[in-house]
Structure 1
Amino acid sequence: MKLESIRREYTRAELSKKNADKHPMHLFQRWMKEVLNLNKIDATSMSIVTNGADGFPDSRIVLLKSYNNEGFVFFTNYNSQKGQAIAENPKVSLHFFWPELERQVRISGIAEKTSIEESEAYFHSRPFESQVAAAVSEQSAEVPSRVYLEEKFDALKKELNGTNPECPKNWGGYLVRPVKFEFWQGRENRLHDRIVYELKDEDWIIKRLAP
């Protein structure tokens, strides 16, 4: 099959400045509720883009764990590639793609660490095995083999004997405070709707972009 022959039309919904909320987080909440009704498993998956030390942008999928008017929260190992990149440059981008609703949301913002208390509370809310995995994984570091990881996992699990591990000091959350949103709604004939919110002096300025 030729890739250029794969096409689809977008006919599900429309987005205008009139039916967009004044605050972008309210529109995001509305869209998130709609996609959660269709797909609770993947709705919170988001790509986070950081700027690497080599000058190249790095993108990977993480899971959104909470959000409010302050921003978006996810958790990771602070010594990971993304953690090191954020320490050097806290400007990041988030990207949600919801094909069920023919929608995308792009967010630019500044990442900052959550409090130790918030990080520890979420860490201990995770399944026991996930806590153990986070405790033994030196995320992004080179390892000799899969067996090496499994042996470390089994050893700590045996040592803990059912008790929860401590939250590693190099593990926790980030809050991404948004400064820009772009809401994309697929439309017929590739005349997609693109509504942008930009933060200017604590006010959100709304504009439409050409597709």
Structure 2
Amino acid sequence: MAREDPESRGYPGDPMDLSLEWLPGGVNQCLMTLSTLDAAGAPDSRTMLLSEVTRDGFFFHTDALSNKCAQIAADARVTLTILLAEQGRQLVVQGTAEPADAREVAQAYRDRGPYLQQLAWMNTDEFAALDDASRVTQWAQLATDHTAGFTPPATWTGYVVRPRRLRFWEGAVDTASRRVEYVATDGSWETSFRAG
């Protein structure tokens, strides 16, 4: 495994610089796969939105009553897999999920469109168990009842993932793909290049 200065290969020394380059625009709301560990220690994954990337880390938001929140409470180690298919790129982030602060959580809700704001109210097991006609009717009724907009439900919450390992994969049509890996070590980053 080659240990090299990433800048000699066109990569920054700080992986958050590269994360912000690959995921620009503040509020990103792109799809990612969040992997946690279940009660038996087995991986559990689901696709959801990456809300935002800042120098503080990677943010996502969800219902506090969800399985993922219970799993994070038991073991905060998580992996985020972010596929940027159109760019021929993938970013895998391993780190620790911490509760985001209340202001950030509230702002993330305000930044979501009406559909996702309403989804935060209705994305429950009880609603999922209804027949399709009832689901459509209740969805439409709640939208009608809230024409002025939604406020966050009490169970709306968020997390920031503090990365300890990041792997940036890039494909290529004229040569082999490769990954650059950053691993946190005593306040700095150790970098290596790996086969794709």
TM bin, normalised by shorter chain, reads: 0.7 to 0.9
Give a deviation string over 1:63-99, Cα, whole Å, max 9, x none. Answer: 2221111101111112122222212211111112223
User: What is the percentage of aligned positions where both structures have the same residue?
Assistant: 27
Match of 1:111 in 2: 97
Output the amino acid matched with 2:100.
T
Secondary structure at the aligned position of 2:136 is classed as: helix
Distance 1:20 1:92, change over 3 A: same
TM-score normalised per structure 1? 0.76
Counterparts of 1:187 and 1:125, CA distance in 2:
35
Gaps of 5+ in 1: 1-15, 37-41
Q: What residue number does 2:64 align with?
A: 78
Structure 1 runs of 4+ aligned residues shifted over 6 Å read none
Q: For 1:101 and 1:121, how far apart are their aligned partners in 2?
A: 29
Structure 2 residue 122 is matched with structure 1 residue 131: no
Higher strand share: 2
Q: Which residue does the alignment assign to 1:202?
A: 187
Which position in structure 2 is the counterpart of 1:182? Answer: 167
Give a deviation string over 1:92-136, Cα, whole Å, max 9, x none.
111122233322111101111212222222223333343233213
Q: Distance in 1 between matches of 2:81 and 2:101?
A: 24
TM-score normalized by the length of structure 2: 0.81
Aligned to 1:65, the other structure's residue is in SS state strand
The aligned residue for residue 152 of structure 1 is 138
Query: Partners of 2:45 and 2:16 in 1: how far apart?
Result: 23
- 1:32 is the counterpart of 2:18: no
Deviation digits for residues 156-188 of structure 1 (CA, Å, limit 9, x no counterpart): 33444x233331121122111111111112246
Give the length in aligned residue pairs. 188
CA root-mean-square deviation: 2.7
